[in-house]
């Protein structure tokens, strides 16, 4: 089964890569008001969605700064 | 308008972060066959989707190693 994990910054947490992309887009002349980034992990595994959520808690995310969602891809 | 840009590695291109995640998941005792990563940019802009595709070509992606998709979020 292929699962899709999306990891985002929590609201209020700085997103340095998003801010850098925003600055760079503006410096190239593009109009942009905000850029936020997220990371996607596509995980091929025989495990259950519950196990994938445990992978998120134990390895893939930092609960202090991240929110995440798991879905079947 | 909020656009969602998803940047993936092309087939055949090494995904070091995905491979590192796969190794780490296995070392923690999880069963996983493959992990691929992708990057998401959520861009708030008054520009058109065509302009966002130009942002991808000029800044956000490397055409040698990346595929990307743009959609309205």
The CATH number linked to B42 is 3.30.1280.10
Among B51, B57, B49, which Cα is nearest to B73's?
B49
On chain A, the residues whose CB falls within 8 A of the CB of B11 are none
pLDDT value at residue B21? 98
Are A40 and B35 an interchain contact pair (Cβ–Cβ within 8 Å)?
no
Reading the block at residue A29, the tokens are: 């002349």
Average pLDDT, integer, range A41-67: 98
The count of structural domains within chain B is 1
Q: How confident is the model at residue A21 (pLDDT cuts 50, 70, 90)?
A: very high
Query: CA-CA distances (angstroms) from residue A65 to A38, A51, A57, A68, B32?
Result: 12, 21, 12, 10, 25
Average pLDDT, integer, range A15-27: 98
pLDDT value at residue A33? 98
On chain B, the residues whose CB falls within 8 A of the CB of A18 are 41-42
Residue B36 distance to chain A (closest CA, Å): 5
ipTM of the complex: 0.93
By residue range, what is the domain housing residue A8? 2-72
Q: How confident is the model at residue B19 (pLDDT cuts 50, 70, 90)?
A: very high
Q: A interface toward B at CB cutoff 8 Å?
A: 6, 18, 21, 24-25, 28, 30-47, 51, 54-55, 58-60
């Amino acid at each position: 089964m292929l699962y899709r994990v999306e990891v985002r910054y929590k609201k209020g947490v700085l997103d340095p890569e998003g801010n850098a992309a925003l600055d760079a887009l503006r410096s190239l002349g593009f109009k942009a008001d905000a850029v936020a980034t997220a990371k996607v992990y596509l995980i091929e595994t025989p495990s259950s969605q519950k196990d994938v959520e445990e992978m998120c808690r134990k390895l893939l995310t930092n609960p202090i700064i991240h929110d995440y969602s798991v879905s079947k891809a």
